Amino acid sequence: MSKRLTCDVVVVGAGVVGAACAFYAARAGLDVVVVDRGPVSGGTTGAGEGNLLVSDKEPGPELDLALLSGRLWAQLAEEIGEFVEYEAKGGLVVASTPGGLTALGRFAEDQRAAGVVAEPVDGDSLYDLEPHLAPGLPGGVYYPQDCQVMPALAAAHLLRVSGARLLTGRTVTDVLLKRDGTVDGVRTSLGDILAPTVINAAGTWGGELAALAGVALPVLPRRGFVLVTEPLPRLVRHKVYAADYVADVASDSAALQTSPVVEGTAAGPVLIGASRERVGFDRTFSLPVVRALAAGATKLFPFLSDVRAMRSYLGFRPYLPDHLPAIGPDPRVPGLVHACGHEGAGIGLATGTGHLIAQLLGGKTPDLDPAPFRPDRFPDFPDEEGA
């Protein structure tokens, strides 16, 4: 059956970024339809850990967006926090050597100047915060602004309270353009949805959607595994990770990188990350990767060597060449607005992204300068996967 719908805004993608765009656009009074070829949270959102982090970000536009997003998540938590397992748990970054601690201290100093709360932690206080850490660590930095949500629930509840119409199981097959080249809506496998604005929140598949509108956006997948333990009493209190993680996040290497990221969850299991590889959309289970994750986590928390890992899952971070998302109107196709390419930070950055886009759609001055996120900042970027 083919049915034609009309609305103000079509959001393509029912992950957390699409949900946040729908939420803030609807709160601004727009009539919003969200469409996804799969279910809610069926892509990268459902494969995430739900981190809302400032700790891993160096001063710059991404950190500014993370700080804005953190404030918005805290506001949202008053409304839906309980449903989405919002937890202001704080992050603890741990150095493994005195030299590493010095470098981490400098990094934290720069972050403090940019508005991050970053408290130096000496070797003794480390064990007050996390009693089960491996002995002999020199210290770290505590980031009370780091929070967590259960990402699949976050997207679902944002969509629910947005009041937007949700159409899942519908594949967008084309972006409809008027004669003058402006957006007229999308064609889907179950009929057209007409709207003057289309938001590309297709995550790792955002480049494909952009191509349907005739423009290039070099979003590439960066694979990551998460290892899940059996449910445990609360033995890991914060998000705890090794200082090397920050360097891995910012790296451009295609080769496998792992650095231990360990956190307890409200539901009981401990989640262990984080790996990064550029291997396309390969969903094959990789024992070497998961083994490296387990080894790294056990080095940080020796008790984990007696704990069973129950399963692992993987996902594909939507990665743009300069590690910044694409947020805002695409000057090449009036009416096309991008909200994708958040790499591994999409859950955290979703609220700020949706908020900025709603401000831009409403003709308001955005809280942050969106210039660094311009979607047309990659002129003729070569196809990296073939390189």
Number of residues in the chain = 387
CB of 153 to another protein, least distance (A): 14
Nearest-approach distance from CB 308 to another protein, in angstroms: 6
- Least separation in angstroms between CB 52 and another protein: 22
210: nearest Cα among 37, 332, 85? 332
Nearest to another protein of 88, 235 (CB atom)? 235
Nearer to another protein, 268 or 331 (CB): 268
- Of 113 and 267, which CB lies nearer to another protein in the complex structure? 267
Instruction: Indicate the residue among 268 and 362 with the shorter CB distance to another protein.
Output: 268
What's the min distance (Å) between Cβ of 19 and another protein?
24
Residue type, 264: G
Distance between CA atoms of 136 and 383, rounded to whole angstroms? 46
Phi, psi of 237 (to 5 degrees): -95, -30
Q: Which amino acid is it at 219?
A: V
- Binding footprint of another protein on the chain (CB under 8 A): 230-233, 267-268, 308, 310-311
The SS3 assignment for 3 reads: coil
SS3 content of the chain, % helix, strand, coil (to 5): 35, 30, 40
Select 181 or 231, whichever has its Cβ closest to another protein. 231
Tell me how far apart the alpha carbons of residues 43 and 213 are, in angstroms, rounded to a whole number. 21
Q: Cβ of residue 235: shortest distance to another protein, in angstroms?
A: 9
Contact 207, 325 (CB under 8 A): no
Supply the minimum distance, in Å, between the C-beta of residue 260 and another protein: 22
d(CA 153, CA 16): 9
Choose between 42 and 348: whose C-beta lies nearer to another protein.
42
